[in-house]
Structure 1
Amino acid sequence: MGETIVRMAQDADMPGVREVAAHFEALDGWTDMPDFLDAERAFGTLVVGEVDERIVGLGGVLRRGLISHLGDLYVLPEYQSSGVGRGILGFALPSGTPAVTFSSDDSRALGLYIRQGMRPVCPLMYLTFTPDAATSAGPSGVRAAGGGARGNGVSGANGERVADGSRVREAGALDARASGGERTGTLSWYAGLPGVTLHLTGSGYAFARTTEGDLEVGPVGGETPEDCGAALSAAVAAHPGVEEVQVAVPGVHPLLPRLLDAGWEIDDLDTLMASDPGLLRLDRYCPHPDLG
């Protein structure tokens, strides 16, 4: 194997970057561009590992305040355990950086993140809900868990109504207190994508995106766990025709057992890791799987 070069991604690298991401099915659900890789370049850092002029790995970071969220670290199988991933991670997250990531159960990845200064905090549960299966829990399946207030939707489809930037800023302020840092630029970018809606419920907020008949909700948060649940309920209730709803919930969130009682199911899980467990308010915050 030739020398590994680790550097910032450039425009010409993006086809190779997406080829690596697609190998790990990371772009499933992102059928159109721009996607989260573009967000990482615009609002954080996108790093590539190159061997013999081939992109063989990538690392993507999004920032909110002082926190760096490591959204992606992928190395093609034939280059794993060769130091490529370690080089990308060290470049993307310099030592001492307050950091958060969602790790798979791969022991090599867990060890790499631990050596970088992060520690396991709790499981991150990826829940799914089928609206057709809703029972007495209410039409959203979360009404009993978090309240039934229906929020003011701000549509991101074709950017038509997101011109009301004050609502995104309002959500951004709530998000900063729940997620640990300000990222209104990233949230404004996300709100402007086709299929994205923003739901505000007083002291709660939820972003939601429809893709191919499914609804992905996140980030979601609020001043209290109940505010977080009410915002999730509003987002789901505003999309009655979807086939499946998806949301990521920290294992310590008070909403989790109530969602399971309401018919939501655990589809998958990661390990939420952080350099400091106090960086996030995990009792009132549900992250976006790709944006944190």
Structure 2
Amino acid sequence: MREVAKRFGLLTGWSGTPDFLDAERSFGRLLFAPDETGGALGFGGTLRRGSVTHLGDLFVLPGHQSAGVGRALLAELLRESGPKVTFASSDPRAMALYVRHGLRPWTPLLYLTGPAAGLPAPPARRTRAEEVATLDARASGGARPATLAWYAALPGVTMYATDRGYAATRLTGHDVLIGPAGGATPQDCADAVLAALAATRARTARIALPGTHPLVPTLLATAGWRIGDLDTLMADEPGLALIRPDRYVPHPDLG
């Protein structure tokens, strides 16, 4: 499965194992479609947050696309009860497949990059994963204390908190990835992200923001910030009711 992931550039930003595939295997489901030799034609993975199923991955090698492999993987991955969410790529075939399985496009998910310094921010304190687990559950739609603890233990990861918000950072060299992050209100989430950015002392930052998040206009009005890519946040209606895209910042790979 990692060979397939490498073909699609999915392991960029992960310096080694453990990586997001290990997270899916430990805290959700990880399935692959085998070829004749036991290798993978494609794979899919989910992560659970309480009752929410986050579809993190569904990839099929180009020579085997549109042959039913993706449909079979998706039907098995989404058979669990409860709300479903995913970040769909711009491939119209993928979006149509998700729609046929009950998901609907709701808002863009914008992948922004820019300078980490220079933005006004409140003070942040370092914290532990268990101390932000309840706030994360309210913002993200479901509890996942084990996943948060697993991520917080990885090299370069630090959890920060403000009075009513939190943000996880992962520092790689001079670059920092923000997420997950959340807050009791949209402004609390924005303050926590800005506080974490200031605390990391990184040069550049990466963050995935739902289109309705208040940080989108703030960052894009700041010199050096730009949209590098975008996906579409898709959910069935109960899923969107649980997730708060105006006060939650997902991790690009962990949801």
TM-score range, shorter chain: over 0.9
TM-score for the superposition, normalised by structure 2: 0.95
**Counterpart residue number, 1:43:** 27
Alignment of 1:123-138 (within 5 A): 123-131=108-116
Match of 1:216 among 177, 187, 191: 177
- 2:235 aligned residue: 274
- Pairwise CA distance, 1:51: 2.0
d(CA) in 1 for partners of 2:135 and 2:21?
A: 25
Name the amino acid aligned to 2:140. Answer: S
Give per-residue Cα distances to partners, 1:31-61, cap 9 Å, x unaligned. Answer: 1110010000000000111121221111010
CA distance 1:226–1:31, change in 2 (3 Å):
same
CA distance in 2, matches of 1:290, 1:62: 10
Matching residue within 72, 88, 95 for 1:87: 72
Q: Deviations over 1:112-142 (max 9, x none)?
A: 11011100010001111124xxxxxxx443x
- In structure 2, list runs of 5 or more residues that go unmatched: none
The one-letter code sitting in structure 1 at the alignment partner of 2:247 is R
Q: Aligned residue for 2:124?
A: 151
Instruction: Note the alpha carbon deviations across 1:242-270, whole angstroms, 9 max, x for none.
Output: 33200111001122112211232111110
Q: Secondary structure at the match of 2:129?
A: helix
Tell me how far 1:212 sits from its aligned partner. Answer: 3.6
Amino acid corresponding to residue 71 of structure 2 in structure 1 = R
2:62 corresponds to 1:77: yes
CA-CA distance at 1:213 after TM superposition: 2.6
Q: Please say if 1:284 is aligned against 2:247.
A: yes
Alpha-carbon contact 1:61-1:72 (below 8 Å) kept: yes
Decide which of 236, 243, 255 is 2:203's aligned counterpart: 243
After superposition, give the CA deviation of every residue in 1:60-93 in whole Å (9 maximum; x if it has no partner): 1000010000011110000100100110111111
Larger radius of gyration, structure 1 or 2? 1
* Structure 1 position 101, deviation (Å): 0.4
Q: TM-score with structure 1 length normalisation?
A: 0.83
Q: Offset of 1:170 from its aligned partner?
A: 2.2
Q: Is the 8 A contact 1:140 1:236 kept in 2?
A: no
Supply the distance in 1 between the matched residues of 2:10 and 2:45 (Cα, whole angstroms).
12
Percent identical: 52
Is 2:3 the partner of 1:30? Answer: no
2:134 is matched with 173
Aligned residue in 1 for 2:216: 256
- Residues 133-172 of structure 1 show CA distances to partners (whole Å, capped at 9, x for unaligned) of xxxxxx443x2xxxx2221124xxxxxxxxxxxx322211
Secondary structure of 2:21's counterpart equals helix
| C-alpha distance in 1 between matches for 2:154 and 2:80 | 34
One-letter code aligned to 1:27: L
Quote the residue 1:194 is aligned against: 155
> Which consecutive aligned stretches of 4+ in structure 1 deviate over 3 angstroms post-superposition?
none
What's the CA shift for 1:283?
1.1
